[in-house]
């Protein structure tokens, strides 16, 4: 996957003064990245689109407080990830966490550079992971975000990220072996 762009601090400063054109540029630069992350965590097109809208609403609402010396993409992914966690919690309360077997590929392009696994298999496998492992797996292995940044996004330690990633990969390998037996 192409790496997420870092927007110019000048544009962020303009957004902080409520410049609508600058904000439009920011939205255009990041919409596909936000959607790809949300979709890969939630595996649901409508939920991912809802997260995209809510993400940019929250960015607009709180951009004045953003510290320009921070990495914007990390702050943005933190918002997306938290919204996805909320969505997963709601699903659990409603017992809707599993990905439907007939779930189809989203209309938007989501790069699926996933070795030999198909997107549908990954959906099924990742759906059963605990939320934190699922999110760490998506951020690190599907979005290719460095462990250091994943730790910042999740407000945790690098060791916690590595541990969750280890257990997520292990569980995915075991589940993959089960469906191929």
pLDDT tens-place string over residues 121-178: 777 788 889 999 999 999 998 888 999 999 999 999 999 999 999 999 999 888 888 8
Averaged pLDDT, 14-26: 95
Q: Would you place residue 119 in the very low, low, confident or very high pLDDT band (cuts 50, 70, 90)?
A: low
At residue 175, the pLDDT reads 85
Enumerate domains of the chain plus CATH numbers. 9-179 (1.10.1740.10)
3-state per-residue secondary structure call for the chain: CCCCCCCCHHHHHHHHCCCHHHHHHHHHHHHHHHHHHHHHHHCCHHHHHHHHHHHHHHHHHHHHHCCCCCCHHHHHHHHHHHHHHHHHHHHHHHCCCCCCCCCCCCCCCCCCCCCCCCHHHHHHHHHCCCHHHHHHHHHHHHCCCCHHHHHHHHCCCHHHHHHHHHHHHHHHHHHHHHHCC
CA 74 to chain centre: 11
d(CA 11, CA 112): 31
| pLDDT bracket for residue 4 (50, 70, 90) | low
Task: Provide the angle, in degrees to the nearest 10, between the axes of the packed helices 158-179 and 119-127.
Answer: 120
pLDDT tens digits for 25-81? Answer: 999 999 999 999 999 999 899 999 999 999 999 999 999 999 988 889 999 999 999
Q: Which pLDDT does position 36 carry in this prediction? A: 92
pLDDT for position 25? 94
């Amino acid at each position: 996957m192409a790496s997420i762009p870092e927007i110019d601090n000048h544009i962020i400063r303009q957004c902080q003064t409520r410049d609508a054109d600058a904000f439009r540029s920011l939205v255009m630069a990041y919409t596909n990245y936000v959607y790809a992350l949300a979709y890969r965590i939630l595996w649901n097109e409508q939920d991912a689109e809802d997260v995209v809208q809510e993400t940019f609403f929250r960015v607009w609402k709180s951009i004045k407080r953003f510290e320009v010396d921070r990495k914007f993409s990390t702050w943005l992914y933190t918002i997306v990830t938290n919204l996805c966690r909320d969505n997963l919690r709601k699903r659990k309360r409603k017992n809707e966490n599993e990905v439907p077997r007939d779930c189809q590929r989203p209309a938007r392009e989501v790069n699926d550079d996933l070795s030999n696994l198909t997107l549908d298999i990954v959906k099924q496998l990742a759906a059963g992971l605990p939320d934190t492992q699922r999110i760490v797996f998506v951020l690190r292995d599907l979005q290719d975000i460095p462990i250091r940044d994943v730790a910042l996004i999740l407000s945790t330690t690098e060791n916690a990220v590595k541990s969750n990633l280890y257990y997520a990969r292990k569980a995915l390998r075991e589940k993959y072996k089960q469906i191929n037996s």
